[in-house]
Chains A and B, each alone.
Chain A
């Protein structure tokens, strides 16, 4: 790949055309001069040559690029392919060869060579654009000036002229952006979404409006919150008022209690006052006090005597000044003493009777004692006999013991005697038997006795009969026993007499003791009786005196008491009134609190009902929402999307209008760049003195749609009066053409591309001879232009150019299938 680059102001060296538009067979054009003219009638192929240059440079034409033609339309009707070879050269002689091949239905194939070296095929178009310094759009505006462009600039509506100028300036993009910004895409999407929304809405019950529903829901929630807040406030107030009510009610209770107390005290006071009416005191309080204390002393003495401790203590304790208590105590003491007096009466009676009884008993006992003394005297001799017998025989017991012992001894002796008798009888019988029989059985031991035992038995019998002292002893004992028994009998008699004596003595002693006791009792009874009589007298006297005194004192005490009570009640009343006042209870305020509380409770009930109602409604709404939740959700989503689309729509619409809005400023900027040069060129091109200056203004214009747009308006300064005259309405077509050419040339000069040629297609229609000459002169003298390629049917222009001697002219004529007939006519 070549690293050599081209250096500005390229011009065309040659052009080969085959199969392009009217050119069927190959044609080769050399561009041997600065000015190359293709002269020929309409349809002779002039424009096809210019289009072939465009095709050679860019591989397409503006008509194909604008989709006014298809690329296949460029192929000659009798051929199936295009071949265009374009050779360009820069001021240093570097040559660029571009080969374009296009088959029907195929894409254009390009080959490019820089000084014979091919450019990389994939970079060809970019490289070429870079080498040219402009794209096809700029080429169409700045290099290849077509008749229709000139026409657009000088004629047509202001908008059409403005569009043409915009294209020349390369700023038509703003208008295109304005025109082509496809808001309809968003509009369609909005419409689709709105239809989707309606479709979703159809899923809801008939007459159901989501927005109304949501508004209702919002309203319910707002109302619910409102009532809840209200309820909370009401409850807070209720709590406060209830607390106040409770406080007031407590105060009321206290107040009523105090009022009751007051009523009670007042009635007490009145009662006391009435009690006092008609009660006249007999003694003064001081006298009463004195009298009562005197009575107390007396009473204490009496009570001490009577040993009445309780009343005594009470009386001793009571204050001297406590007249009422003292009075009452004395009264109760009097009553007590009256009872005691009765008791003493009874006691006196009883004691008197006892004394009498004692006296009678004593008399009788004394008589009995005399009788007993007589009887005791009669029994005294027995006591002396008894004592003598005792001294002789001992005591009766001892005698009886002896008798008993003697009887036992006697019985023993009698037994011995009887046993001996029986033994003798037995021995006699045994001896007899032995004697008779020789054998006998011992009755005691059962042993068999024989005659050998007989002697022994006889000796034994002798031994038993020889003991006679036992009999003597037995007789002594019997005589003694008889004697003792006689003494015993007498002593027994004497003892009974003695017992009787002792009993009498004992009885006498008892009677004497009883007599002494009775005497003592009688004396004591006498003393007691005297004492009782004395007490009786004293108590009776005290009771009598006390009753009188108390009766006399009672009214005074009563008045004194009542007065004191009244004073106390009065003081209590005053204190009570003070307490009532200090209580701070206000019945009116309590009523007001109760009224407010009732009102608030009614409001609370209303709010609760309302909240319940709203909760129910909200529940219904939420249930409905839940039921259609998905639909709502989709609807919400679609609505959000629509809103977003609308926002986007508004943004893009704002942007769209911004393109047109900045059009004016951009136009002014572009004009500021070209106006001066345009005027210079105009003055060269225009050969007449009537106008000497041009200006292009951007003015605002209202369209039929009501939109304000900016348009170009070209003015020419009239020499005779210096007025700026609108070119479109006041100047001729020829003048307009000159002005348009001046503008185009200025623009061409100011552009920064590397193409040094200017291609003009019928540039000078309606131009007069003088101007044409001036135009040719101008063109020839334009320094920047290296090459001018003109297609024209105007022979006069060729003639004028020929005067300059640098023109190279091809003449074209209509040909047959082969294409136009081309003839090089100048230079000859």
Chain B
């Protein structure tokens, strides 16, 4: 696993703490964070569209 930069590590830790009883939300938050970190707003949009596509395919 790629080693996280210090701030990302802090943020992931804080998100884990914040969503300690909601694993799915934690995963979603981390996913969105890294999507933004890598691709900025485009990454966020892509991730959310992908999530919506999952929703559509399931429904």
Point out residues on A near B: beta carbons under 8 Å.
169-171, 173-174, 176-177, 180-182, 185-186, 189, 637, 640-641, 644-645, 648, 651-652, 654-655, 658-659, 661-662, 665-666, 669-670, 752
CA distance A171 to B5 in the complex (A): 12
Q: In the bound complex, do residue A662 and residue B45 qualify as a contact, i.e. CB atoms below 8 Å apart?
A: no
Please, what's the 1-or-0 string for B10-34, where 1 marks a CB less than 8 Å from any CB in chain A? 1100110111000011001100110
Q: In the bound complex, do residue B36 and residue A655 qualify as a contact, i.e. CB atoms below 8 Å apart?
A: no
> Distance (Å) between the CB of B15 and the closest chain A CB?
6
Q: In the bound complex, do residue A177 and residue B44 qualify as a contact, i.e. CB atoms below 8 Å apart?
A: yes
Q: In the bound complex, do residue B48 and residue A645 qualify as a contact, i.e. CB atoms below 8 Å apart?
A: no
Additional A-B contacts beyond A180-B44, A658-B19 (9; CB < 8 A): A170-B7, A173-B11, A173-B33, A180-B36, A186-B52, A644-B59, A654-B25, A655-B25, A666-B11
Q: In the bound complex, do residue B55 and residue A641 qualify as a contact, i.e. CB atoms below 8 Å apart?
A: yes
Residues of A within 8 A of B3 (CB): none
The answer to whether the Cβ of B2 comes within 8 Å of any Cβ in the partner chain is no
Residues of A within 8 A of B52 (CB): 185-186, 189, 645, 648
Q: In the bound complex, do residue B45 and residue A182 qualify as a contact, i.e. CB atoms below 8 Å apart?
A: yes
> Distance (Å) between the CB of A754 and the closest chain B CB?
15
Residues of B within 8 A of A637 (CB): 59
Beta-carbon nearest neighbor of A662 in chain B: B14
CA distance A185 to B46 in the complex (A): 10
A658-B44 contact given A173-B36, A644-B59, CB 8 Å threshold: no
A648-B51 contact given A177-B44, A662-B15, CB 8 Å threshold: yes
* Residue with the greatest number of chain B CB neighbours at <10 A, chosen from A181, A186, A666: A181
CA distance A617 to B45 in the complex (A): 49
CA distance A661 to B26 in the complex (A): 13
Contact of B24 among A641, A651, A658 (CB under 8 A): A651
Q: In the bound complex, do residue B32 and residue A171 qualify as a contact, i.e. CB atoms below 8 Å apart?
A: no
CA distance A752 to B7 in the complex (A): 12
Contact of B29 among A169, A180, A659 (CB under 8 A): A659
Residues of B within 8 A of A658 (CB): 15, 18-19, 25, 29
Beta-carbon nearest neighbor of B41 in chain A: A180
Q: In the bound complex, do residue B59 and residue A655 qualify as a contact, i.e. CB atoms below 8 Å apart?
A: no
Beta-carbon nearest neighbor of B5 in chain A: A170
> Distance (Å) between the CB of A298 and the closest chain B CB?
121
Q: In the bound complex, do residue A181 and residue B18 qualify as a contact, i.e. CB atoms below 8 Å apart?
A: no
> Distance (Å) between the CB of A64 and the closest chain B CB?
14
- List 11 interface pairs A-B (beta carbons < 8 Å), by A numbering: A171-B7, A171-B11, A173-B33, A173-B37, A185-B52, A186-B52, A644-B59, A648-B55, A651-B28, A655-B25, A662-B15
> Distance (Å) between the CB of A24 and the closest chain B CB?
34
CA distance A716 to B59 in the complex (A): 58
Q: In the bound complex, do residue B28 and residue A652 qualify as a contact, i.e. CB atoms below 8 Å apart?
A: yes
> Distance (Å) between the CB of A190 and the closest chain B CB?
10
* Residue with the greatest number of chain A CB neighbours at <10 A, chosen from B15, B19, B52: B52
In the complex, the 10 A-B pairs of residues with the closest C-beta atoms, listed nearest first: A662-B14, A641-B59, A644-B55, A655-B29, A640-B59, A180-B41, A170-B7, A658-B18, A644-B59, A655-B28
Residues of B within 8 A of A189 (CB): 52
Q: In the bound complex, do residue B44 and residue A182 qualify as a contact, i.e. CB atoms below 8 Å apart?
A: yes
Beta-carbon nearest neighbor of B49 in chain A: A185
CA distance A666 to B48 in the complex (A): 25
Question: When A and B form their complex, what is the total count of cross-chain residue pairs whose Cβ atoms lie within 8 Å?
Answer: 80
CA distance A186 to B44 in the complex (A): 12
CA distance A185 to B18 in the complex (A): 25
CA distance A323 to B49 in the complex (A): 121
Residues of A within 8 A of B6 (CB): 752
* Residue with the greatest number of chain A CB neighbours at <10 A, chosen from B14, B25, B36: B14
Residues of A within 8 A of B24 (CB): 651
Q: In the bound complex, do residue A182 and residue B18 qualify as a contact, i.e. CB atoms below 8 Å apart?
A: no
Q: In the bound complex, do residue B11 and residue A662 qualify as a contact, i.e. CB atoms below 8 Å apart?
A: yes
Contact of A174 among B11, B25, B45, B51 (CB under 8 A): B11
Residues of A within 8 A of B28 (CB): 651-652, 655
Q: In the bound complex, do residue B48 and residue A651 qualify as a contact, i.e. CB atoms below 8 Å apart?
A: no
A644-B49 contact given A651-B25, A665-B14, A666-B14, CB 8 Å threshold: no
Beta-carbon nearest neighbor of A181 in chain B: B44
Residues of B within 8 A of A177 (CB): 32-33, 36, 44
Residues of B within 8 A of A170 (CB): 7
Beta-carbon nearest neighbor of A646 in chain B: B55
A641-B56 contact given A177-B36, A658-B18, A658-B19, CB 8 Å threshold: yes
Residues of A within 8 A of B17 (CB): 662
Residues of A within 8 A of B45 (CB): 182, 185
Q: In the bound complex, do residue A182 and residue B11 qualify as a contact, i.e. CB atoms below 8 Å apart?
A: no
> Distance (Å) between the CB of B6 and the closest chain A CB?
8
CA distance A654 to B40 in the complex (A): 20
CA distance A156 to B56 in the complex (A): 45
Beta-carbon nearest neighbor of A663 in chain B: B14
Q: In the bound complex, do residue A182 and residue B41 qualify as a contact, i.e. CB atoms below 8 Å apart?
A: yes
Residues of B within 8 A of A185 (CB): 45, 48-49, 52
CA distance A644 to B58 in the complex (A): 9
Residues of A within 8 A of B49 (CB): 185
Residues of B within 8 A of A651 (CB): 24-25, 28
Q: In the bound complex, do residue B48 and residue A186 qualify as a contact, i.e. CB atoms below 8 Å apart?
A: yes
Residues of B within 8 A of A648 (CB): 51-52, 55
CA distance A331 to B33 in the complex (A): 133
Residues of A within 8 A of B7 (CB): 169-171, 173, 666
CA distance A655 to B45 in the complex (A): 14
> Distance (Å) between the CB of A526 and the closest chain B CB?
140
> Distance (Å) between the CB of B44 and the closest chain A CB?
6
CA distance A777 to B59 in the complex (A): 68
Q: In the bound complex, do residue A661 and residue B55 qualify as a contact, i.e. CB atoms below 8 Å apart?
A: no
CA distance A309 to B35 in the complex (A): 134
CA distance A169 to B8 in the complex (A): 12
CA distance A645 to B59 in the complex (A): 10
CA distance A786 to B18 in the complex (A): 41
CA distance A185 to B53 in the complex (A): 12
CA distance A176 to B11 in the complex (A): 13
Residues of B within 8 A of A174 (CB): 11
CA distance A640 to B48 in the complex (A): 18
CA distance A752 to B6 in the complex (A): 10
Beta-carbon nearest neighbor of A190 in chain B: B52
CA distance A654 to B24 in the complex (A): 11
Residues of A within 8 A of B48 (CB): 181-182, 185-186, 652
CA distance A173 to B35 in the complex (A): 11
CA distance A491 to B41 in the complex (A): 187
CA distance A637 to B19 in the complex (A): 31
> Distance (Å) between the CB of A748 and the closest chain B CB?
15
CA distance A661 to B7 in the complex (A): 16
Residues of B within 8 A of A665 (CB): 14
> Distance (Å) between the CB of A821 and the closest chain B CB?
40
Beta-carbon nearest neighbor of B48 in chain A: A185
CA distance A735 to B10 in the complex (A): 32
CA distance A698 to B28 in the complex (A): 27
Residues of B within 8 A of A645 (CB): 52, 55
Beta-carbon nearest neighbor of B56 in chain A: A641
Q: In the bound complex, do residue B59 and residue A652 qualify as a contact, i.e. CB atoms below 8 Å apart?
A: no
CA distance A658 to B49 in the complex (A): 20
CA distance A541 to B52 in the complex (A): 136
Residues of A within 8 A of B37 (CB): 173
CA distance A293 to B48 in the complex (A): 129
A181-B59 contact given A651-B25, A652-B48, A661-B18, CB 8 Å threshold: no
CA distance A139 to B41 in the complex (A): 21
Beta-carbon nearest neighbor of A644 in chain B: B55
Residues of A within 8 A of B11 (CB): 171, 173-174, 662, 666
